């Protein structure tokens, strides 16, 4: 079971922007990044908002039916997200780019239907 609680920083000089909407930490100190999905016939495009992360420290691993993302932040917690795919993909064809704190992952759908040549 994941325990959730809020952490409030005790610095009296902090303003709203620095103190109020704090990360909803779970006991493993991981949080899910804000995520958007855009699906086409050929691929699923996933964008994840991952501020305060260095590109070099992001880990994206792909299996046929799952893509896992994890990245430590300089704020002391990790972004972590498992995307369970309702389709199969070729893990080696998954593409990821990171720009302006946003990770974009393109997950191509495995072609399942072939036209069979009749001999």
Asked if 21 is part of the footprint of other proteins (rule: CB under 8 A), the reply reads yes
CB contact at 8 A, 94 and 80: no
Nearer to other proteins, 51 or 90 (CB): 51
Size of the site for other proteins (CB under 8 A): 29
CB contact at 8 A, 85 and 65: yes
At its nearest, how many Å lie between other proteins and the CB of residue 14?
A: 7
Asked if 111 is part of the footprint of other proteins (rule: CB under 8 A), the reply reads no
Tokens standing for 42?
A: 């050929």
Q: Which of residues 28-87 bind other proteins (CB under 8 A)?
A: 31, 34, 36, 38, 47, 49, 51-52, 73, 75
Asked if 8 is part of the footprint of other proteins (rule: CB under 8 A), the reply reads yes
Asked if 20 is part of the footprint of other proteins (rule: CB under 8 A), the reply reads yes
CB contact at 8 A, 61 and 71: no
d(CA 111, CA 115): 11
Coil vs helix vs strand at 16: helix
Nearest to 83 by CA among 42, 56, 44, 51: 44
Binding site for other proteins (CB under 8 A): 8, 12-24, 31, 34, 36, 38, 47, 49, 51-52, 73, 75, 99-102, 104
């Amino acid at each position: 079971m994941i325990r959730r609680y809020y952490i409030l920083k005790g610095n009296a000089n902090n303003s709203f922007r620095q103190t109020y909407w704090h990360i909803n930490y779970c006991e493993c100190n991981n949080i899910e990044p804000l995520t958007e999905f855009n699906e086409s016939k050929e691929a699923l495009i996933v964008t994840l908002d991952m501020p305060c992360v260095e590109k070099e420290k992001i880990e994206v691993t792909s299996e046929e039916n799952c893509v896992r993302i994890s990245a430590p932040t300089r704020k002391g917690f990790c972004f972590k997200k498992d995307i369970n795919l309702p389709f199969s993909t070729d893990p080696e064809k998954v593409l990821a780019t990171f720009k302006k704190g946003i990770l974009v992952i393109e997950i191509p759908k495995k072609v399942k239907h072939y036209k069979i040549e009749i001999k």
